[in-house]
């Protein structure tokens, strides 16, 4: 990390989701920068000066509060945006536990697939949904054909090929 990145960072960074490859933006700031610390000093001095008097030691409490809450806010905002909104993939969680990250994507898919807004979105998971529908359609067709065969109805081609069939044996 260079000195310039400690002082100033661009608000957003562009990247791609490692799971669904969708293009996405996320906040580049994970922690407070030097500029934020400077802003917290100024803020605590101004607010402390307005309440008590300039350079009152109690301003230090305000400074600590501003630094603490700012750091928590910036980190939680970064953490929230790390999760892909198209597929629910969480790269931070994946580094800790790939199984939990996989389970989270599955849960995201099962939750979102019921929503009409998701069906109309451009999520790459819709390809998975379409192939799942196609697979279910083919399985239903196979079950239907099996059911007909087990129900005693022999397809026409099979009865022609079977020489023992009474219908195809010529009578003498």
Applying CB under 5 A, among 59, 89, 93, 112 the residue interacting with Zn ion is 89
Question: What is the total count of residues that contact Zn ion (CB under 5 A)?
Answer: 8
Map the footprint of Zn ion across residues 99-118, applying CB under 5 A.
Answer: none
86 binds Zn ion (CB under 5 A): yes
Q: Which residue, 17 or 93, has its beta carbon nearer to Zn ion?
A: 17
As a whole number of angstroms, the distance between CA 85 and CA 88 comes to 6
Terminal Cα-to-Cα distance of the chain (whole angstroms): 97
Angle subtended by helix axes 59-82 and 34-51, to nearest 10? 140
Q: Site residues for Zn ion, window 65-84 (CB under 5 A)?
A: 84
Contact between 17 and Zn ion by CB under 5 A: the answer reads yes
Please report, as residue ranges, which positions from 124 to 153 form the binding site for Zn ion (by CB under 5 A). Answer: none
Of 40, 62, 66, 87, which lies in the binding site for Zn ion, with binding defined by CB under 5 A? 87
Structure tokens at 34: 């030097």
* Long-range contact set of residues 64-73: C-beta below 8 Å, sequence gap at least 24: 66/40, 67/32, 67/37, 67/40, 70/32, 70/36, 70/40, 71/31, 71/32
Residues contributing to the site for Zn ion (CB under 5 A):
17, 19-20, 22, 84, 86-87, 89
């Amino acid at each position: 990390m260079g000195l310039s990145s400690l002082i100033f960072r661009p608000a957003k960074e562009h990247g791609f989701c490692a799971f669904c490859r969708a293009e996405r933006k996320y906040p580049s700031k994970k922690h407070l920068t030097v500029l934020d610390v400077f802003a917290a000093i100024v803020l605590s001095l101004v607010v402390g000066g307005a309440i008590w008097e300039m350079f009152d030691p109690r301003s230090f409490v305000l400074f600590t509060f501003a630094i603490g809450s700012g750091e928590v806010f910036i980190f939680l905002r970064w953490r929230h945006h790390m999760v892909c909104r198209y597929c629910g993939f969480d790269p931070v969680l994946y580094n800790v536990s790939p199984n939990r990250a996989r389970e989270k994507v599955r849960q995201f898919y099962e939750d979102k697939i019921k929503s009409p807004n998701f069906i109309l979105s451009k999520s790459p998971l819709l390809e998975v949904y379409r192939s799942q529908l196609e697979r279910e359609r083919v399985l239903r067709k196979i079950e239907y054909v099996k059911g007909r065969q087990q129900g005693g109805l022999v397809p026409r081609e099979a009865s022609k090929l079977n020489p023992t069939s009474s219908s195809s044996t010529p009578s003498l």
